[in-house]
Chains A and B, each alone.
Chain A
Amino acid sequence: MLNPLSWFAALALSAAVVLGAAGTTPAQQPVTLTGAGATFPFPLYSKWSQVYDAERGVRINYQSIGSGGGIRQFIAKTVDFGATDGPMTDAQIRQAGGRPLHIPMVAGAVVPMYNIPGVGTGLNFAPGVLADIFLGKITKWNDPRLLKDNPEAKLPAADIIVVRRSDGSGTTAIWVNYLSKVSPDWRRKVGEGTSVNWPVGIGGKGNEGVAGLVRQMPNALGYVELAYVLTNRMPVGNVRNRAGQFIRPLLSSTTRAMDGALRAIPEDYRIFFTDPEGRDVYPIAGFTWILIYGEQPDPVKGKALVDFLRWAVHDGQKYAPPLHYAQLPKSLVARVEGTLRTVTAQGKALLP
Chain B
Amino acid sequence: MRHVAHMGDRLFARLLAAMAGVVPVIMAAMLAAMTVGAWPAIRKFGPAFFATSTWDPVAGDFGALPFVYGTLVSSAVALALAVPLGLGVAIFLSELAPGWLRRPVGFLLDLLAAIPSVVYGLWGIFVLVPWVRTTLSPPLKATLGFLPLFEGPPLGIGMLAAGLILAIMVVPFIIAASTEVMRAVPTSQREAALSLGATVWETTRTAVIPYARSGIVGAIFLALARALGETMAVTMVIGNVPQIRASLLAPGYTIAAVIANEFAEATDDLYVAAIIYAGLVLFLVTLTVNILARLLVARVARGPGLIRE
Contact = CB atoms under 8 A, between A and B. Distances in A.
Nearest to A84: B267
B236 A92 contact: no
A167 to B, nearest CB: 4
Interface string A166-202: 1111100000000000000000001111111110011
A168 B58 contact: no
B52 interface: no
Given A166-B235, A197-B59, A66 B261 contact: no
B236 A209 contact: yes
A86 B266 CA distance: 11
Interface stretch (A22-30, A212-220, A227-235, A262-270): A212-220
Interface in B227-281: 235-236, 239-241, 251, 257, 260-267
Interface stretch (B23-31, B108-116, B122-130, B289-297): B122-130
A65 interface: yes
B268 to A, nearest CB: 8
A205 B236 contact: yes
A159 interface: yes
A170 B125 CA distance: 23
Contact of A205 (B240, B251, B263, B265): B240
A195 B157 contact: no
Nearest to B271: A195
Nearest to A200: B241
- Chain A contact residues: helix, strand, loop or mixed: loop
B266 A68 contact: yes
A294 to B, nearest CB: 21
Residue among A86, A92, A204 facing the most chain B CB atoms (10 A cut-off):
A204
A191 B236 contact: no
A72 B265 CA distance: 10
Contacts of B265: 66-69, 167-170, 194-195
A167 B59 contact: no
Contacts of B156: 216-217
A89 B270 CA distance: 14
A195 B153 contact: no
A170 B129 CA distance: 27
A217 B241 contact: no
Interface string B203-241: 000000000000000000000000000000001100111
A54 to B, nearest CB: 30
A204 B121 CA distance: 11
A205 B235 contact: yes
Contact of B54 (A86, A169, A196, A197): A197
Given A202-B240, A205-B235, A216-B130, A193 B58 contact: yes
B36 to A, nearest CB: 16
B235 A192 contact: no
B174 to A, nearest CB: 27
Contact of B264 (A66, A201, A216): A66
Contacts of B54: 197
B58 A196 contact: yes
B267 A202 contact: no
Given A209-B125, A213-B157, A217-B156, A193 B264 contact: no
A69 B241 contact: no
A204 B265 CA distance: 15
27 contacts: A67-B267, A72-B267, A86-B267, A166-B235, A166-B257, A167-B260, A167-B261, A167-B262, A167-B264, A168-B265, A169-B265, A190-B58, A191-B58, A193-B57, A194-B57, A194-B266, A195-B57, A196-B56, A196-B57, A197-B57, A198-B241, A202-B155, A203-B239, A203-B261, A209-B125, A212-B126, A217-B155
Task: In the A-B complex, list the 4 residue pairs whose CB atoms are closest, starting with the nearest.
Answer: A168-B265, A66-B264, A203-B240, A166-B240
Interface of A: 65-69, 71-72, 86, 89, 92, 159, 161, 166-170, 190-198, 201-205, 209, 212-213, 216-217
Given A217-B133, A217-B155, 13 more contacts: A69-B265, A167-B261, A167-B265, A168-B262, A192-B58, A197-B56, A197-B57, A198-B241, A203-B240, A204-B240, A205-B261, A213-B125, A216-B126
